[in-house]
Each structure stands twice: as structure tokens, then as C-alpha cells.
């Protein structure tokens, strides 16, 4: 036992962090949704995912693809007490996509734009100066059973910062096999 204690060192081998109740701001972007040509299918999915961790969407807005409006909405939600801001839409490599620029212009420091995970490779993670996450969610979060968002959400809810190195490690096991019977999180996805 003494040899094991010496080998383990002074740091604990495991930390269990509790989920914290969070107020979430959601910004749905896209001209199609804004003009009501397409129904917003993202908000119900996000409501369910956040609610599973005891979080509530307390601020919600639908905007067209205008990076200045998106930036202003991010800043307003943070000023209004949002613990997390989730932005949807406009997360591909298309030069017309405005959401990544808006997140950057909000003053949040981008940790990573992209992750070696499918579905969800165009995920964006940024943090404000006071440590609140601002995420850019790719469209797959709306329709895929499990994505990069499902891998990072527990850490966001426990106030455990996520580094670019940690996101890179998700590359091992970073392909959801879309099994006929999903057993997530008891599977190799993201492990």
C-alpha cells in the first residue's frame, strides 16, 4: 500500500465534480429560420440536452446571418447573466458563415474551431475572460444522436475547463458508429 501511495503522488487519482445549475443563452442563426421559411428544430434539441444536466435556457433569440447582430446578442446574453452561450448555424467552412467571426468578435478567446470528432467536426469552443463558455454548434447536433457536444457538455456543466489538447484527444474514438442500439456513454465514442 505504501508503494502505491508513493507511486500515486500527492495529487488525487480521480476528481468527481458536481454539475452546476446553469442559465443558458441560445442564439439560433440562419436566414432561413429567421425568415420562418424553415422551422427552428435546434431549440427543442438544446432544451432537452441542457435539461438533462439541470440547466435551463433563460435567453433565446433567432437572428439572420449578420455577424454584428450575433456578436451583440452574445454580449447581451453574457451581460444578462448567461453562464453558457450556445450559438447554432454557420459553423461550416463556408466563407459566408458568420457565427465563428461573431464569437471571436464577442471577446471570447477561441480554444478550438474544429475537433477530430464525427459527428461534430466544426464545433467551436471559446471562453470569456471570466471563464464562461461560448460554443458554436454545428448542424449535426440537431439531428445526430451523439456528437462532440455530448462529449463536452458534462465538463461545461461541471465548470471543468476544456483545452485544445483535450479536444484533440477525442480523436481516438472520435467516430460515432451510429449503432442500432445506442449505449452512449458506455461506448468507445470520444474515449
- For 22-80, the pLDDT digits (tens) are 999 999 998 889 999 999 999 999 999 999 999 999 999 999 989 999 999 999 999 99
For residue 1, the model assigns a pLDDT of 84
Q: Sketch the domain layout of the chain as residue ranges.
A: 20-169
Q: How many other CB atoms are there within 10 angstroms of residue 95's CB atom?
A: 6
61: Cβ–Cβ under 8 A, 6 or more apart, which residues?
26, 27, 28, 73
Distances (CA, A) of 184 to 6, 27, 66, 147: 35, 27, 36, 10
For residue 115, the model assigns a pLDDT of 92
- Domain 20-169 has what CATH class? alpha beta
By the 8 A CB rule, do 71 and 37 touch? no
> Is the entire prediction scored with pTM above 0.75?
yes
Q: Is 33 in a helix, a strand, or coil? A: helix
By the 8 A CB rule, do 111 and 10 touch? no
Label residue 9 left, alpha or beta by phi (over 0 means left) and psi (-120 to 50 means alpha): left
Q: What pLDDT digit, counting tens, does each position of 136-180 carry?
A: 999 899 988 899 999 999 999 999 999 999 999 999 888 998 889
Residue 27 phi, psi dihedral angles, 5° rounding: -120, 110
Strands 84-88 and 56-63: unpaired
135: Cβ–Cβ under 8 A, 6 or more apart, which residues?
84, 85, 86, 87, 123, 124, 125, 126, 149, 152, 156
Amino acid at each position: 500500500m505504501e508503494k502505491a501511495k508513493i507511486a500515486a503522488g500527492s495529487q488525487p487519482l480521480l476528481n468527481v465534480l458536481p454539475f452546476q445549475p446553469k442559465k443558458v443563452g441560445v442564439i439560433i442563426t440562419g436566414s432561413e429560420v429567421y425568415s420562418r421559411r424553415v422551422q427552428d428544430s435546434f431549440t427543442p434539441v438544446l432544451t432537452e440536452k441542457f435539461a438533462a444536466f439541470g440547466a435551463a435556457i433563460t435567453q433565446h433569440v433567432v437572428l439572420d446571418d449578420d455577424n454584428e447582430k450575433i456578436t451583440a446578442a452574445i454580449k447581451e446574453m453574457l451581460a444578462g447573466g448567461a453562464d453558457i452561450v450556445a450559438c447554432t448555424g454557420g459553423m461550416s467552412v463556408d466563407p459566408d458563415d458568420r457565427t465563428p467571426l461573431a464569437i471571436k468578435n464577442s471577446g471570447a478567446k477561441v480554444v478550438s474551431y474544429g475537433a477530430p470528432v464525427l459527428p461534430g467536426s466544426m464545433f467551436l469552443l471559446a471562453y470569456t475572460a471570466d471563464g464562461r463558455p461560448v460554443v458554436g454548434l454545428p448542424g449535426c447536433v440537431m439531428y445526430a444522436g451523439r456528437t462532440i457536444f455530448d462529449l463536452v457538455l458534462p465538463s461545461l456543466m461541471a465548470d471543468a475547463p476544456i483545452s485544445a489538447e483535450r479536444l484533440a484527444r477525442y480523436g481516438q474514438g472520435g467516430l460515432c458508429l451510429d449503432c442500432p442500439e445506442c449505449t452512449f456513454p458506455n461506448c468507445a465514442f470520444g474515449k
